[in-house]
Every structure is written in C-alpha cells, then in structure tokens.
Structure 1
Amino acid sequence: MAAVSVAAEWELLYNRYYRKPELYSMRWGRMDLSRHRVACAPFGGPIAAIRDDSKIVQLLAESARRKLLIFSSSGQPLASSLWDRSGGRLVGMAWADDLSLLCVVQDGSVYRFDIRAELIGQFSMGSECFEQGIIDCVFWGNGMVCITENYQIFCVPDLKNPKPCKLADPGLDEYPLCVAVIEPQYTMSGNVEVLLGVGDHVLVVDEDGVQQLGVGVGPLQKMAVSQNGKYLATFTHDGRLLVIPTDFSRIIFEFTCESALPPEQLAWCGMDSVLLYWDELLLMVGPSGDPVRYVYDEPLLLIPECDGVRILSNSSLEFLHRVPDSTVSIFQIGSTSPAALLYDALDHFDRRSAKADENLRLIRSSLPEAVEACIDAAGHEFDVSRQRTLLRAASYGRAFCSQFPRERFQEMCKILRVLNAVRNYEIGIPLSIQQYKVLTAPVLIGRLINANHHLVALRFLSTLTLIHEFQGHELTFLFMNLFQEVVIMHWACAKITTSAPIQDVPLLESLLDKLKLCKGISYAAIAAHADNCGRRKLAALLVDHEPRASKQVPLLLSIGEEDTALVKATESGDTDLVYLVVFHIWQKRPPLDFFGTINARPLARDLFVKYVRCYRHEFLKDFFLSTGLTSRCCISFCWKESWDIEKNPMASKGTPLHGPRIKLIEKAQNLFAETKEHLFESKAAEEHAKLLRIQHEIEVSTKQAIFMDSSISDTIRTCIVLGNHRAAMKVRTEFKVSEKRWYWLKAFALSTIRDWDALEKFSKEKRPPGGYKPFVEACIDADEKAEALKYIPKLTEPRERSEAYARIGMAKEAADAASQAKDSELFGRLKLTLAQNAAATSIFDTLRDRLSFQGVY
C-alpha cells in the first residue's frame, strides 16, 4: 500500500516519471503575483516582489506608495523598504549569485539591495543607456544584458566588477520577438552571446559581431536556454515547440501545441523536459509521448533549478522534478528490484513476518546495491517520515551486508539533517540533495549567515566533519575554524545592530560568552562595527579584549581613545605603532596638551624627540620648554644655531659670524657641564670652541679663510705649509699634540712644499722620537728617491729598510736588508714585489742558495 500511494503521486512522461510535491503553503498573506514584479533566487533562495506600476491599484486596497518586499521561499517576510528610486520605471529585477538583488530602472541606473532590502550599492550602464533609455534586460548568475530603445545591447559580464561594455550593433528597426542569453562559460569565445528572435531567423550578438543562424526556423515567439547551455527550447509563431542545439545545426525534437498563442513562460525542467505556461495551464513536454497537463486557478511563476522547476503560486510552492531512478526502483508498482524487496522486507520485519527473511535470501547477492538504492532514495525525499523509513530499510539491509561502507550511511544521515533543517518554514531554503551538491556547503553556510540563521549555521558546521566533501582533507579543521569564526563574528555584529535598548555592559557579557569560542576572532573588527552603529563605549570595551596591538591601536584612535592607544602601542614595543599614535595625537591636540601626553611615556617621548630633531627641529624648543627640560632645550638650540651659522656661505669667508658661533658652542659647553652625565659632551664642546677660536685668529692674521672647521692635524699642516711655524706650535701646545704625531705632520708638510733642506735640518735637530720612518714616507710619497736615500739607512729595523728599498726599486739593497732580518716571509714577499725585474730575481735566487731558504719556496 505504501508503494502504491507513493507511485500514485507520479506522472509518466514518455518513459520517465515526474512528481510535484508541495514544499510550502506560502505565509505571505494576501499576495497576488499577477500584480507584482517578482524575482526568485535559484537554489531555494529568497523572493523579491514589488508592485507592478503598470497595473491599476484598487482604491483603499493597499498603500499607493510602492514597497520592495523580500520573502523566504516559504513566504516568510524577511524585509521591506519603500521604493523611492528616481530614474523612470523599473525595467528588470533579479538576484545575483551572491544573493544581492539587482533592480534596473529606465535611465540605466542599477541598484543593489541585500537580503534585508537595504541599498548596498549602485552603478550606471553608461551615458548611452541614460540618453536612449532601457526597455528590457536579461540576467544570468553573475551578469546582465540591457537593450535600449534604439535596440543597442549593453552587457555587464561581471557584476562584482560592473564595467558595462557595448556589444555589436544588431541593426534592428524594431524590438525582437524574443531574447535569450548564453552564459560566457558555455560559449566558445568565453563571452556572453545574446540570441535575438528576428523574422524567420535568430541573430547571435557578441562583442565581436553579429551572426545569423536558423534561417527558416522562425519566427520564434519564446526562447529558453538549457542549464548546460547546449540546447535551446523555442516556441514558433505557428504553435510548435522546437528543441535545437544552440548552433542551430538540427532540430532535435518538435511538438505541436494545441494553441499558437505564445506561452507566458517557457522553462526547462532539468534536461529531460520543457514546461510551457499559459493562463491556468501548465504543459510539460518530453522527448516523446503525450505531454503532462497541470491546471491551476491562480497565476504561476516558474523558477528553473538544476534538477527541476520550482512552481510558485499565490498560495504554495511546489517542486516539479524527475523521480530519481533509485526511488522508481523501490516504489514503482510491481517492482521486484532488490531495493524494493529490501524495503518490503523491512515492512514484514516490522509486522514480525517470516517473509522478511525470505526477501533477504532472494537478494543476498545484490544486497549492497539495494542498500545503496535505499540510501540514495532517502536523500532525494522531502518527506521526513519517508526518509526515515528508507534509511531504516538501508540500516536493516546493512546489518546483513558487512562489506557495505558504514560511512556512506552516516554521511547521508548528516546531509539529510542539514537539508531538513534549512527546509524548515522558519528558514525556508527548500534545497534538493542535487542542488545542495551543486551549491556546496560553504555557500549554504554563507546564505544562512546572511539571513541571520547563525545557530543553524553553527550546527551545520558541527556536522561537516563527517560529510564526504570534507573527509580526508588536510585543511578540514582550518576550514571549520575559519567558518566558525565568520559565523560568530557575523552574529556578534548582527546582535549589536539589533540590540539598541540593551546597555553596553550586559551586551558585552553576552557577546563575550560566544566570542570566546573562537580564539583567533578579531575583536577589533566587531568593535569597529559597534563604533559604526554609534556605540562608542561598547567599542572601547570590546577592543580592550583584542590581543593584537596592530589591530587594536588603529581602532582605538578611530574611536577617540588616544591615551589608551598610546599605552597599548608603547606596551607592544612596536615603534611604528608608537609613531602612528604620536602623529595622530600631534594633529588632534593643542601643543601643550600633546607635549604633556607623550612626556609621560619615555618611549613615545624619545621617538618624538628623535623625529623632530631630524625633520622638524623647530618643535624641539617648544617641547623642552613645556616639559621643564630647559637645559636640554638650550643645548639643543645652541648646537642647532651653530650648525645653521656653519652652513651659511658667509661663515666660510672670515666674517664676524664666527664670533657668535663660537659663543653658542661655549654656551652649550657650559650647559653640558651642569650635569654629570654629559661630561664627554662638555669636554668635546670646550675643545671645539677653542679650536674654532684659534682657527679664527689664524685666519684673521693670515687673511686666508682656509682654517675654519678643519681638524687639528690639518690646521698644523696648513700652518707649516704657509710658513707660519709659530701658529703651528701654538696649536700643538694648546691641544697637547704628541711629539711623535708632530714629527709626522711636519715631515709631510715640508715634503708638500718640497723644502728638502728644511726637512733635512728638521731631522737633525734631535733624534726623532718615532725614528726616521716619517721622513722616509714623506720623501717616497713625494717621489723623491734621492731624498729618501738620506733617511733609509737610518732606519733601525731591517724589515723597514728592506721594504723602503723595495719601494724605490733598489733590489740588491732590499735583499741585503731582508737577509739581515732573517725573515723568510719578508724575503718571499719582496721577491714577488720585484718579480718583473729579471736582475732582482737573479739576486734573490743567489741569496736563496746562499742562505739555504729552499724550504721557503
């Protein structure tokens, strides 16, 4: 009896069964589809309706002001808003893949609404559409095509990045009889193709041009492209239904209807049949045999799905689809398939009949297939009690079939639990199992979140670990945690938006109870949402729980909590964050308030001082004075002003500017001397001032502005070169230049002016403290070998003598000196140095034999 009652609901079309279960009795009250423009989202998505402004409004029946209404598929009201958009009449309305509602008006403006009827964006189809006006539009999942009053076609191939483009000019003089679109994913070029029914043929229009196809097949009154983009269902002017490939190469199927009046709607039902709807009559035509007729006494809207058609009326929502093969094998009248016998065996088992064992013995070899068929049939059922019975049959059979995979049964149970939950009236997403697989679980979770069904989404996530599409995936837990974080974050934001009457502290406690479930959740993002909702105190309380300073500090600044942001930034130790807060407060607050704020934070204070000292030095004085650091202020500006004078071009020409500069440095030296921690700076400033004063005096006496800002050594050397030995001795005495350094400086100075007699006289005054090496080096650098020979023999170290002889090219003397040093390393290095000299090489070879240095080479 159960099999008979189930099969009695089916209709036979050729050799395939179809059924039309009622999914919902609509809960939207007094809704008349015939007086509204309606857009239904696929995959059991929401329904949008707005009163058709071309229809007459009955006086006192409803408000004269139009409203955009959003319902679930069960007719449950979700949202509404007044329609007050300018730009002319509403031309088209449809849902995009991301469940945003697109509304196109006559002037080419496209408005986007979310599922709560809130405007989330808009764009224009361009100036030509604005000037010409739009008269029709066709949508697909992620794109749209508009036709203007001049019969020009404009396309938006990607609604996520709406950039309208103009297609080729079809050259029409009147509006086409019908329009259809082949989506880009199904075309050879990868671009959208627009089919226009014109005369007895069809024009295929894309960006590159216009192609004429199907000559003689028309005129066509209606067209509908199949789900896979390969076939086209058409209704001709003489009442024929034709199914042809989209390349119009042949006619696959032809059916003559009883009326030549074109149907109001034409739609594919899966890939096996086509639906035609006239007023009160729904006709389903298959590839062969008689059609199936359904009679309705109210207007209908056909909503194509991947595996059937949803039929929406004023009072109900039905789903017309092909009966799955597994279901047919079980419930077909007179079926003796293994699955039917297994289902019957369960019935006998429940009635304690011995025939249950007899049925199991009959299908012993086919038991796995029977179990699989029962599980598959349960997945395609919308009736929960029938699902349960089929799964019990599968479980009964699996008890006698140990090799059947246990996971398959568990997986189906989990999927059905999800599908039954989302099919509930309150949620209203009537997905079939095939639609669920095409839509995918992550997209379904996203839709549940957007509809504020957060608890269902979380429960759904808890089942995903055992669903096949996630099993064995190494990123399973990563996906789970990510989606859980998204769900809870969306819930928190929605909670804040809808909890205006609740005080901040109680609301914070309820939020934290759930937010703690996700360790990595962004409290800063939720706090930002609270701030956008005007709840700044709640935002401050939330952001305090954010563990990442990089997200916490910017948000604190945005909500006006600069002091807290400075504390968090300095505690993090991130100098970039500290600078971010410092610059923000610097712009927002008066200088005195700002200086006091950062002075209390050593890290912020030091970073600010470092910055302004390099780039905004004029702020240092105000900062030091306002914070009581008078000495540091004066020191800083003494140095700053002295540097400014140094950079003045006039300061390098012996002008009186040097006097104030020296006084500034002396003033800085006195200030440095007041503190123990600046003893080095004090001594350095003192010596600097002394040197500048002596250099200034020398410049004044010699009338040559070449001494200022040179080093002590350069000053002494320059004085000797100019013959001012008294000034050189004064500098030496004042700065306690050592005697060894003095000999080096004077020797090189005399060699610079090539005063060899004075150099020789200087060498004989007394024995040089560091030896005669300065004289040798000075002569060699001046390329005076003869003068160098006066001093090389006086070098006490044989190594130094050998190297000196080698530098002036005297190989024999260098070799003799090296042999006196008895340094094999030196001997080898000198030989390499003089390797280009054949005579020198011979000398070294001779000495090598004499001194038995064979081991060196």
Structure 2
Amino acid sequence: MMDLGARIYLAMRDLGARIYLTMMDLGARIYLAMRDLNARIYLAMRHLGARIYLAMRDLGAQIYLAMRGLGARIYLAMRGRLETAEETVFRKCKSVEYKLLMATADWNPLGDVYLRKTELYSMGWADIVDLNKFVAVASCQYGGPIALLRDDAQTARVQVSTKPVITTYTAAGYQIGQMRWNSGQIVKMGWTVTEDLLCVQDDGVVLVYDFFLNFKRTFGMGQEAKDVKVIDCQIFNSFQGTGIAILTSTFRIFIINSVDDPRIRRLAEVPGLQTAPSSWTIINLDRQSRALVAKGKELYLIDHGGQFQYQSPQISAEVNEYVMMSVSYSNKYLAMFTDSGVIWIGSSDLQKCYCEFNTKSPQCPQQLAWCGSGAVVAMWDKFMLVVGPDKDWIKFQFDSPVHLTQEDDGLRIIQNYQHEFLHKVPDVTEKIFKIGSMEPGAMLYEANREFMKGSQKADEYVRMIKDKLDIAVDQCIQAAGHELEPSKQKQLLRAASFGKCFLTDYNPQAFVDMCQMLRVLNQVRNHVIGIPLTYTQLEKLTTTVLIDRLVLRKFFAYAIKISQYLKIPEAEGSSRILAHWACYKVKQKNQDDEIIARAIAQKLGDTPGVSYSEVANEALECGREELAIRLLDYEPRAAHQVPLLMKMHKDQIALSKAIESGDTDLVYTVLLRLKESMTQGDFLMSIRSMPISYSLFLQYCRQQNPKLLEDLYYQEDNFIEEGNCKIMRSFDDERLDDRTETLNQAIKCYQKGRHDFVIKQTEDQIKLLKYQRRLEEEFNRPYMDLSLHQTIYRLTVENNYKVSEQLRKEFKVPDRRYWWIRIQGLAEAGEWVELDKFSRNKKPPVGMEAFVEVCAKHHNVNEAMKYMSRVSPEQKVRCLVKVGNKKAAADTAFENRNEEELNFVLSKCGHSDRQLVESIKSMKQQLGLKR
C-alpha cells in the first residue's frame, strides 16, 4: 500500500502463500510461508532473530498501564536514550496487515498451531513473596487459590528451630489466610475441586482446611501408612472428585478416589521393587484409577484388583530410567522424561507414541506439565521448554522462579511478579487475526474497523462475505469469548453487532449470552476477586459452581448481582446466597446479638427458600445461644423451630411453640422429651398448667401407658375416668376372679363419682361374666368376653333356645331387641321351620318385614315370599324389592296408586331392566292422567 510506505505481496492458494514485508526502519523481514495449509510465521528481529521483544532492558523498560474501564493496554517504551525502531514503525505504519501483526505479536508458532502467553495479573505479593523461599507451592485449578508452605528450618535459612507457616493467596497474589503448622511433617499439599486445602503428612493423616485455613476435618490413609510412613504422594482429579494416592516406605501404594468418601484401597505390588520407584503417577480412565510405576526402565500399570501389567511403550532412545511423568488434564495423554534427557509424548495407555524429543539436558526438570492437551512443558529453574507432538518447540526465559498449574485449556505460570496464562490460540481466533486471512470473521472484523473510521471500504468488505455473513458473526462472537482483554472483546463484539445489522433472520441469542458471560468473567477476573477463568473453563465449571466460589470467598454482593443478572431462580441463586451470608454473619463475634438478628431479619425478610432455623443452628454451633433464640423468633415454621429449641434445652419454649402451631405430633415430640429429661412429678406439674399439652399427654397415656393414666386420674380425684381405666384394665386379666375384682374396684370408683347408670352396667357385666363361665362349663364352648347380644345370638345359632330365653329374662332384654337377635340367629343356623314357628307365636314387635329381610339376606327368596302376605301394605313394595322381585313391586305400587313407591322401584332398576323402566314410566303417566 503506497500511502503507507509498504508493499504487500500476496501470492496465495496455488503456490502456498508467501508474504514479504520489508520494514526498512526495523531492518528485518517477516517471512510467512504457508505450506500445505500449515502456516508458520517467522519474525526476524535484529537482536533475537526470531521474535519481537517489546521489553528491551538496555534500551528501556515497558510500563503496563491497565485501563480497565476502556479494556485496553498501552505499551510505552521509555527511559530514554534513543527512540527505538519499533516505536518509529508503529507511528508510521497504519496498514491493516501491520495491525494484524501487532495482534499476533505474542503468538508463538508450535507446528501447525500457535501458543500465546497472556498476563493475568501483576501479583499483589510482588514485594513480599519469593517463591525460592518456599518448600511447597500448591495452586488450585480453574483459577483457584494458591497455597505456599514456608519452612525455614528445612531450607536451612535460620539456625533456630521454627515451625512451618502455610499462607494462602488469591490467584492475583493477595493474602487470604495464614497459619503456623503445629502438626506432623507435610509430604504434599494440594487443593480439592471444592477449593479445600489438603495437607498430607508422613504418617498418612490428611488434614482438610477451607479457603481461609479454618480446620474442617481429618482422615487417615490406613494403619500401614501410619506405621511405615509416607514418602511420596499424588493428589489427582478422579471421576468421584479429588483423590489421593500415597507411596509408603515399603513401596506400596494406597489410594482413595474421593476425599469426601475416603475408602482406602491398596494397589497391586510392583514385582521386584526393592527401592523407591524412579517415578510414578495416577491415570484415571474408564472410571478406574490406576498407578503407572517406573522401576528404572520398566513400566508397570497396577490397580486395586491386585493386577499388574508390564508396559512397553514405543521408544527408540536409550532409557535407563523414567525420572518424571505427567498426565494431561483429560488423562488421555502422558509425558515421560528419561534419564537421557528425552521427553516421550504419547497416549496414556502407552499404545501410541506421538513424539520423542531430545532436550539434550542431563538434568531432570523441576516440573513437567501439560499445556492443555497439545503441548508438554518442562521447567528448569527459570527456563521453560514447550514441546509439541511433532517435535516443534518454544523456549521461554523468566526472571524469577516459576510454578506451573495445569488447566483444561492451558497452563498457568505463577511467578514472583506476574501470573500468566499459556494456551493454544483458538482456531476461530486464528482465523480472524492471522495475517492474510480471508476468513469471513477476519473480513467482518476489518469491515467494522473501516466503518468506525468512516471509510467506504467497509461496504466492500461486507459485500465480499455477503453469503457468509452469518458465519462471520458467529466467528467474531466465539473469538470474543476466548479473549482475556476487554478491549479485544469489545472490538470483536462490535464487529459481530455490525454484521448482525445486515442479517434479517439471525438469532441474536448467542450474542446476548456471550455478552452476559463476558461481563461475568471480566468481573470475577478483576484483581479484587482474583478468579482468572477462561470462557472454556466456565463452560465446564458452570455458573452455579462459580457463584459457590464467590460465596466461599465472602463476595456475597457480587454473587447475588451475578445470579440476578443471569436470571438464576431464587432458590438456586439469591435465596441460597443470602442463607450463606446469614450463616457468615452469625460468626461475627464483635457485634451484639440483637443487632445481628435484626440485620439478618431485615436482609432476609420473607425470602423464599431461606430457613431461619438453619441460620440459628449455625449460630448455636458458634456458641451463640441467645442469637439462635432471637433468630428462631423469625422462623415461621414451628416444625423447624421446635427441634432446635429442644437442642438448646429450651423445652418449655419449645412446648409453647408446638402448642401454638396446632401440630399434635410436634407436641408429642416435646412431651416425650420432657418426660425423659424430668422426674415424673416435675413433668406432670409443668404440663398441668397447659391444658392442651396435658390432654394430649393423657391421650398418649391412654394408648401407651394406661397404668400411668389411671394414676393421674387418681391424683386428680377424677373417679369416673379412673373407673373407666379399671374397666379397660379388667380385659387384661385372664382369671375370672381377677377380672371380677378389678370390676368391683371400678364400681367403687363410680360410687364415689355417683354415676348410678355406669354402676348398674358394671354389675351386669360381672353377672354376665359369671353366666358365661357356667355356659362354657355346660356346653364346652367359648363364651367369655362376648357381649350380651353376641351371647344370645350364639345360643340361638346353637339351638339352645331355652337358655337364650332364660338369659333374656335374667338381663331384661327388650322384646324388640330379642326378636331381632332370635330371627338373625335362626336364619344363620338355617332353621327356617323354627323361624316360621317363631313368627306365629305372637305378633312380632319387629314386623314381618324383618323376616323377609333376613331371608333375603341369606338368599332364600322362596322362604321370604311366605311372609310377604303378612307384610303390612306400607312395607310390601320395599320387601318385594329386597327379594329382587321388582316387577311385582312395581305392580303393587301401581295398585296402591303410589307414585313415590314407583319412583323407589325405578331408582333400584339397572341397565338390564330397561323394559321394566319403560313400564314404570308408563304407569306413572297413567297415574298422572287419572289425576
């Protein structure tokens, strides 16, 4: 481009594309050779020959000014002498290609892909922490916290005996917690997936601490680990969460797959292992955790089923020992470092070898890690080597010690002054920013830039991708998600928004979702919060877990705002967060109980899904009983109030709350608790003042403890109820004399209560029992405990008519009642002749319809029809219906000219009586005409 002083020669497609950019002021040439669709960019600069270094110590230093409101970074090279050639070119060169070059200046080619190293934070500990002085560094994945262990005695920096100190920091380098270690020797530190710190001691004890180094729990790795000591440990991600594997001094490996459910399993022993393995690691595939152990140059895969498999990976280099191993985040790939300096890269099942790279270093690296799943990183002191699967490599030099943390999509690099993220340039980002790219996203991005300048070239670019504009918009949206700098995110999203304007049926939901996610990510990446999540990581972590991590860090306001912004349901979002806030609030011991309770009530109000009882229980766990009681006053559900009040031994208050609720089960719960915790006298005295609770207790005694109930009535001089209790107790006496005695005691109680009717009934009961005993002795059949009615009925069924008659006279049974019993007994016994005789003795007080009814009940229609002529006219229709003769019943009702009786017969007709129904309707019409 002539007006910019540079010419770009693009020779593409058939010859493979070479771009020669001659930059006279820089004295360098950039050769871009794109062969076989694989592009490699070689940036030749005077001093390094391959890369552009913007930080040149001799010529000046870079000052990084992060302007978060604008989302941009300005790089100024200052500290005088001569103005650098790079600045001169930057001011003069405004071509599109040069700006794309600057966008890709931090890209490093690694075979067919590019890696870029992005600064996440300037560490807040910059002037405080020197990683060289710490014996252990543990960083949690997904942008989690960092734990540092300092042991001056172990590093021989002081002569006096001191205890180790553990300090936790955010990913931005700001201190969270600190404690002096007072337990055993720490072998390994690591973090769980829920951001709990694990400290594994040499006696196999694992201590678990929270984010702020508050102790949570502890568990052991078994008796053998305690007896023979642990010499090495691996903390790994398993299919069940976070697992731990230990290596004892007897060279046995014990493993648990979840620290939340520590079930210890012993792995198979490596044959012939007499010394510590040269290296080992845990591989988690197919929902099974196995250990890969190197015994010199021999490799064994062992599991908890007692099986071991000898492994022979494809390797051409001479190997005496495998001295270091590293498994990728996905557990699909494995890297091993040999004693000869060779890095072997292959599949974790050791069936495939992708690369053997000779580092030519006899020294074992301090760390071996994976950058995502596409590159292996080896770290020696301040020198880092990145190796790809095709033997491509990149090297980085650092000014301070480095700690590496594997992530699913990259590698975090923690230093004294910086926290950086090394990762593969996403394909969609490469398509947009790669020099010479003709992808739709790249053209749309440039079109938007021209549009912002008011250039007509914007229209030309849009026309070039007219048919692929939707693809271009999608590419810009996706690329924005992978950018960590807000300024680049805005540029890409503006380009996407610009492209959407030319599409009529484009669904904007992806654009809206991306804007929301990026706002959330930019907020949590802020150094105040310090969670440097990428969009890829957030997709796997989920927003729910992210909110949990904000709550864990006590960023309740941020968590609520994010949940409301993302429209998360209250039960999973703001309500749950407020509950956590309230539990945190009650732990603040420097405030008065009344103030805290009022503040919690004002904040929570009637928020659905928040239980004041849970908050009160948390206050009780913290030893703040008065605060717990105050909080329970705001709990609307008595079922949640009462158990906690009982836990605090506030039984009287609990009983009052239970009575107010009207829940009898709840009242019983409190009453039983009071009964167990108090003497009987105190208990009874306490509940007598509450009539409802006392009556419920009496009801309980009536079912569960009749003797206590009788004693209570005796104490109250309630003679009638006391007598009733004795009546009920008499049924438990097996001997007649005992029962009679108990009934006589009941009579005395009734006499005190002056209840003559009950006295007479009880006397009759005693008489009946004696009579039944004589009957049993005479007929050798059971009669005891039958009622008078049942006794007469059984005598009738058994043809003892005289005895039943005598019993009727003895107990003065009314005639109507006796006739009914006698009729039913004769019908049950099938004594139809005797039944007919009995009906003719005298006029039955129950009417003849009773005879018809019992005959019909026993399905003897013929016998029932014998009595039909003696049935009164008023009952004849109903009796005919009872024997099933609805036709005769209808005719009789018609003869009686009684429409009501016709309606009764009609109501008893079913679907099979259609003809009769029509006949009855006709009869009703005739009766109506006659009227």
**Aligned equivalent of 2:596:** 507
Cα distance in 2, alignment partners of residues 540 and 775 from structure 1: 67
Give per-residue Cα distances to partners, 1:771-812, cap 9 Å, x unaligned. xx899889986x9x9x99998986889999999999xxxx9x
TM-score after normalising by structure 1: 0.78
> Residue type of the partner of 2:248?
T
**Aligned equivalent of 1:670:** 751
SS in 2 for 1:252: strand
Matches within 5 A, 1:495-534: 495-498=585-588, 500-516=589-605, 518-534=607-623
1:148 aligns with 2:244: no
Q: Given that residues 726 and 743 in structure 2 are in contact (C-alpha distance below 8 angstroms), is that contact kept between their aligned partners in structure 1?
A: no
Cα distance in 2, alignment partners of residues 570 and 352 from structure 1: 78
1:67 aligns with 2:67: no
Q: Given that residues 776 and 791 in structure 1 are in contact (C-alpha distance below 8 angstroms), is that contact kept between their aligned partners in structure 2?
A: no
**Aligned equivalent of 1:759:** none
Cα distance in 2, alignment partners of residues 776 and 505 from structure 1: 80
Give per-residue Cα distances to partners, 1:442-486, cap 9 Å, x unaligned. 111111111111111112212324xxxxxxxxxxx6x45323221
**Aligned equivalent of 2:60:** none
> Residue type of the partner of 2:556?
H
Cα distance in 1, alignment partners of residues 852 and 444 from structure 2: 112
> Residue type of the partner of 1:195?
L
> Residue type of the partner of 1:669?
Y
Give per-residue Cα distances to partners, 1:658-687, cap 9 Å, x unaligned. 88646523332234337xxxxxxx512333
Cα distance in 1, alignment partners of residues 301 and 268 from structure 2: 10
**Aligned equivalent of 1:847:** none
Distance apart, 1:505 and its partner CA: 2.7
**Aligned equivalent of 1:58:** 157
Matches within 5 A, 1:173-322: 173-183=274-284, 186-187=285-286, 190-208=287-305, 209-214=307-312, 217=315, 218=319, 219-288=321-390, 290-322=392-424
SS in 2 for 1:481: coil
Q: Given that residues 234 and 244 in structure 2 are in contact (C-alpha distance below 8 angstroms), is that contact kept between their aligned partners in structure 1?
A: yes
Cα distance in 2, alignment partners of residues 614 and 530 from structure 1: 39
Give per-residue Cα distances to partners, 1:521-549, cap 9 Å, x unaligned. 21111111122222222222222222222
TM-score after normalising by structure 2: 0.72
SS in 1 for 2:566: helix
Inter-CA distance 685–223: structure 2 relative to 1 (3 Å threshold): same
Cα distance in 2, alignment partners of residues 617 and 302 from structure 1: 75
Cα distance in 2, alignment partners of residues 780 and 14 from structure 1: 106
Distance apart, 1:555 and its partner CA: 1.9
Inter-CA distance 517–371: structure 2 relative to 1 (3 Å threshold): farther
**Aligned equivalent of 2:466:** 364
**Aligned equivalent of 1:563:** 652
**Aligned equivalent of 1:158:** 258
Inter-CA distance 644–212: structure 2 relative to 1 (3 Å threshold): same
> Residue type of the partner of 1:454?
F
Higher helix share: 1
Q: Given that residues 792 and 805 in structure 1 are in contact (C-alpha distance below 8 angstroms), is that contact kept between their aligned partners in structure 2?
A: no
Cα distance in 2, alignment partners of residues 307 and 707 from structure 1: 88
Q: Given that residues 240 and 260 in structure 1 are in contact (C-alpha distance below 8 angstroms), is that contact kept between their aligned partners in structure 2?
A: no
> Residue type of the partner of 2:335?
A
SS in 2 for 1:288: coil
1:83 aligns with 2:172: no
Cα distance in 1, alignment partners of residues 722 and 851 from structure 2: 54
**Aligned equivalent of 1:8:** 105
Q: Given that residues 340 and 360 in structure 2 are in contact (C-alpha distance below 8 angstroms), is that contact kept between their aligned partners in structure 1?
A: no
Give per-residue Cα distances to partners, 1:700-758, cap 9 Å, x unaligned. 9xx999999876679999999xxxxxx9999877854446778999xx9xxxxxxxxxx
Cα distance in 2, alignment partners of residues 805 and 501 from structure 1: 88
**Aligned equivalent of 2:226:** 130
User: Which residue, 171, 182, 201 being the options, matches 1:105?
Assistant: 201
Cα distance in 2, alignment partners of residues 687 and 672 from structure 1: 15
User: Which residue, 630, 641, 644 being the options, matches 2:717?
Assistant: 630
User: Which residue, 685, 688, 692 being the options, matches 2:759?
Assistant: 685
User: Which residue, 567, 579, 584 being the options, matches 1:489?
Assistant: 579
> Residue type of the partner of 1:167?
L
Structure 1 alignment gaps of length 5 or more: 466-476, 675-681, 721-726, 749-772, 832-854
Inter-CA distance 598–251: structure 2 relative to 1 (3 Å threshold): same
SS in 2 for 1:630: coil
Cα distance in 2, alignment partners of residues 377 and 816 from structure 1: 98
SS in 2 for 1:94: strand
Inter-CA distance 322–600: structure 2 relative to 1 (3 Å threshold): same
Give per-residue Cα distances to partners, 1:537-586, cap 9 Å, x unaligned. 22222222222222222122223433332233223322211101111222
Cα distance in 2, alignment partners of residues 738 and 424 from structure 1: 96
Q: Given that residues 13 and 286 in structure 1 are in contact (C-alpha distance below 8 angstroms), is that contact kept between their aligned partners in structure 2?
A: yes
1:118 aligns with 2:214: yes
SS in 2 for 1:192: strand
Matches within 5 A, 1:617-766: 617-620=706-709, 623-624=712-713, 629-631=716-718, 634-640=719-725, 647=732, 652=736, 661=742, 663-673=744-754, 682-689=756-763, 692=766, 735-738=811-814
Cα distance in 2, alignment partners of residues 385 and 566 from structure 1: 64
Cα distance in 1, alignment partners of residues 792 and 717 from structure 2: 38
> Residue type of the partner of 1:672?
G
Inter-CA distance 127–778: structure 2 relative to 1 (3 Å threshold): closer
**Aligned equivalent of 1:458:** 560
Cα distance in 2, alignment partners of residues 543 and 444 from structure 1: 31
Inter-CA distance 274–670: structure 2 relative to 1 (3 Å threshold): same
Q: Given that residues 213 and 248 in structure 1 are in contact (C-alpha distance below 8 angstroms), is that contact kept between their aligned partners in structure 2?
A: yes
**Aligned equivalent of 1:752:** none
SS in 2 for 1:146: strand
Higher mean C-alpha displacement, 140-149 vs 30-39: 30-39
**Aligned equivalent of 2:703:** 614
SS in 2 for 1:428: coil
Give per-residue Cα distances to partners, 1:120-167, cap 9 Å, x unaligned. 122111122222221111121221221111111111122221110111
**Aligned equivalent of 1:94:** 190
**Aligned equivalent of 1:845:** none
Inter-CA distance 803–817: structure 2 relative to 1 (3 Å threshold): farther
Cα distance in 1, alignment partners of residues 277 and 606 from structure 2: 58
Instruction: Provide the aligned length of Structure 1 versus Structure 2.
Output: 761
**Aligned equivalent of 1:758:** none
SS in 2 for 1:234: strand
Inter-CA distance 661–402: structure 2 relative to 1 (3 Å threshold): closer
Q: Given that residues 224 and 233 in structure 1 are in contact (C-alpha distance below 8 angstroms), is that contact kept between their aligned partners in structure 2?
A: yes
SS in 2 for 1:84: coil
SS in 2 for 1:259: coil
Higher mean C-alpha displacement, 582-591 vs 154-163: 582-591
Cα distance in 2, alignment partners of residues 805 and 242 from structure 1: 100
**Aligned equivalent of 2:115:** 18
**Aligned equivalent of 1:765:** none
Distance apart, 1:429 and its partner CA: 0.6
**Aligned equivalent of 1:580:** 669
Cα distance in 2, alignment partners of residues 794 and 438 from structure 1: 96
Q: Given that residues 239 and 258 in structure 1 are in contact (C-alpha distance below 8 angstroms), is that contact kept between their aligned partners in structure 2?
A: yes
Distance apart, 1:286 and its partner CA: 1.7
Q: Given that residues 384 and 420 in structure 1 are in contact (C-alpha distance below 8 angstroms), is that contact kept between their aligned partners in structure 2?
A: yes
**Aligned equivalent of 2:478:** 376
Q: Given that residues 803 and 830 in structure 1 are in contact (C-alpha distance below 8 angstroms), is that contact kept between their aligned partners in structure 2?
A: no
Structure 2 alignment gaps of length 5 or more: 1-89, 91-98, 797-802, 886-914, 917-931
Q: Given that residues 793 and 801 in structure 1 are in contact (C-alpha distance below 8 angstroms), is that contact kept between their aligned partners in structure 2?
A: no
SS in 1 for 2:587: helix
